[in-house]
Amino acid sequence: MTKPNLQQQAAAVARASANLHGHIDHLRERVNHRDPRKRRPPHELDMAEAWYPALLAAANTMAFMLKHEAKIREMIEAEK
């Protein structure tokens, strides 16, 4: 198996961030659902909401790195 390139990694983190955002929306609807069989415990929402800011920041960082990949590589080579 080959190592994913930067573009693939950035896309994966962005996709995970979007998926978690959708999951949070779904949990918000389910925490106070009137049907007890469909209700989710509040700690699941709390946990997902706690993870989201870090994952969003990682997605933004990966997007920045992808946009400036050539300059970053130049700077790394200059340090050697």
The predicted-structure confidence for 2-47, as pLDDT tens digits, reads as follows 899 999 999 999 999 999 999 999 999 999 999 999 999 999 999 9
Token representation of residue 3: 């190592």
Q: Cα(34)–Cα(16) distance, rounded to whole angstroms? A: 29
The predicted structure's pLDDT at residue 55: 97
The predicted structure's pLDDT at residue 1: 80
Q: Cα(53)–Cα(63) distance, rounded to whole angstroms? A: 15
| Mean pLDDT of the 53-74 span | 95
What contacts 4, CB < 8 A, 6 or more positions away? 12
The predicted structure's pLDDT at residue 80: 82
The predicted structure's pLDDT at residue 15: 97
What contacts 54, CB < 8 A, 6 or more positions away? none
Give the number of other Cβ atoms within 10 Å of residue 36's Cβ.
6
